[in-house]
């Protein structure tokens, strides 16, 4: 840091030691950076997620909300869950498109637990009916919704130019019936493990799968309303 003329911000620096919960905690020393001394912390936050030294995830907000659930109404609990849980699931979730299912399986139980917390459902109750009651999409559908919304904003100049440049309308060399369907030009890719997850590839794929009446929406609120209705019927009433 000294060679690159970087200065440590002590107020924004945390030191977290990770160790096994089966071994007793040892006396852990602080770390000195120049004139600053950073003391070890019991918890550290990373992109809204709280990690503890033994990675038990006990300090997470969902568990804290469950402790006071009996004192809260359903509406208040839902507001807290959206603020501390759903917002974290939706944060940058478009990057998870086409990831292996085993990765999404780690996120879906978090949403399921949040839904059960709001509705006071039992652990082994069927979760699909609970999500349907709350009008929640599963994690996989929330990812698709985010990408489609980003695509709409890109096509209507409501996003940064770097994103707008990644999607282009399909323009055939001659007049076809598909010329007026507002389709996007698909993008070729090489690596299936990474290439299919790129926004330039996923956006046309998902956008072209939408009905014409949704693609032709001219304002954001109308598009979101019709898209939610379409995905809800497709998810729960296939």
- Give kind and range of the element (H or E) at residue 50: strand 49-52
CB 203 within 8 A of CB 166: yes
- The verdict on 34 and 71 lying in the same domain is no
3-state class (DSSP) for residue 130: helix
Count of the separate structural domains present in the chain:
3
- The verdict on 124 and 176 lying in the same domain is no
What is the Cα–Cα distance from 91 to 115, expressed in whole angstroms? 18
3 inside domain: no
Residue 5 is predicted with a pLDDT of 82
3-state class (DSSP) for residue 46: strand
28 DSSP assignment: P
162 inside domain: yes
The average confidence (pLDDT) of the chain is 85
pTM summary value: 0.72
- The verdict on 145 and 191 lying in the same domain is yes
- The verdict on 146 and 220 lying in the same domain is yes
- The verdict on 130 and 196 lying in the same domain is no
Single out the residue in 91, 107, 136 at which a domain terminates: 136
DSSP conformation letters of 84-117: IIIHHHHTTGGGGTT--HHHHTTTHHHHHHHHHH
- Under the banding of pLDDT at 50, 70 and 90, the label for residue 238 is confident
- The verdict on 65 and 129 lying in the same domain is yes
Count of residues in the chain: 238
235 inside domain: no
- The verdict on 46 and 79 lying in the same domain is no
237 inside domain: no
What is the Cα–Cα distance from 157 to 73, expressed in whole angstroms? 41
Nearest to 13 by CA among 42, 37, 48: 37
CA 233 from centroid of its chain's CA atoms:
21
Single out the residue in 87, 104, 136 at which a domain terminates: 136
Encode pLDDT of 150-187 as tens digits.
Answer: 999 999 999 999 999 999 998 877 776 666 788 999 98
Nearest to 108 by CA among 63, 130, 139, 81: 139
Single out the residue in 95, 114, 136 at which a domain terminates: 136
220 inside domain: yes
Please indicate whether residue 32 or residue 108 has the higher confidence score (pLDDT): 108
- The verdict on 101 and 44 lying in the same domain is no
- The verdict on 70 and 43 lying in the same domain is no
40 inside domain: yes
Range of the domain at 211: 141-226
Tokens coding 42: 């019991």
236 inside domain: no
- The verdict on 66 and 124 lying in the same domain is yes
Residue 56 is predicted with a pLDDT of 63
Nearest to 57 by CA among 43, 39, 78: 43
37 DSSP assignment: E
Encode pLDDT of 185-230 as tens digits.
Answer: 998 888 776 788 889 999 999 999 999 999 999 899 999 999 999 9
Residue 235 is predicted with a pLDDT of 93
44 inside domain: yes
- The verdict on 190 and 204 lying in the same domain is yes
- The verdict on 119 and 153 lying in the same domain is no
């Amino acid at each position: 840091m000294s060679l690159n003329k970087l200065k440590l911000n002590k107020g924004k620096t945390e030191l977290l030691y990770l160790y096994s919960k089966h071994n007793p905690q040892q006396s852990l020393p602080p770390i000195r950076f120049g004139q600053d001394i950073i003391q070890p912390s019991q918890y550290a936050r990373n992109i809204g997620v709280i990690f503890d030294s033994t990675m038990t995830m006990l300090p997470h907000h969902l568990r804290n909300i469950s402790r006071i659930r009996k004192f809260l109404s359903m509406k208040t609990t839902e507001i807290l869950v959206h603020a501390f849980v759903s917002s974290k699931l939706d944060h940058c979730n478009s990057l998870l498109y086409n990831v292996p299912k085993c990765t999404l399986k780690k996120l879906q139980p978090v949403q399921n637990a949040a839904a059960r917390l709001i509705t006071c459902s039992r652990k082994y109750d069927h979760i699909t009916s609970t999500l349907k009651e709350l009008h929640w999409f599963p994690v996989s559908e929330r990812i698709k919704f985010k990408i489609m919304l980003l695509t709409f904003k890109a096509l209507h100049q409501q996003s940064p130019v770097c994103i707008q440049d990644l999607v282009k309308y399909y323009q055939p060399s001659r007049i076809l019936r598909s010329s007026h369907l507002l389709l996007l030009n698909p993008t070729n890719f090489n690596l299936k493990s990474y290439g299919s997850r790129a926004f330039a590839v996923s956006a046309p794929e998902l956008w072209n799968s939408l009905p014409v009446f949704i693609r032709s929406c001219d304002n954001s609120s109308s598009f979101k309303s019709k898209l939610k209705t379409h995905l809800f019927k497709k998810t729960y009433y296939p």
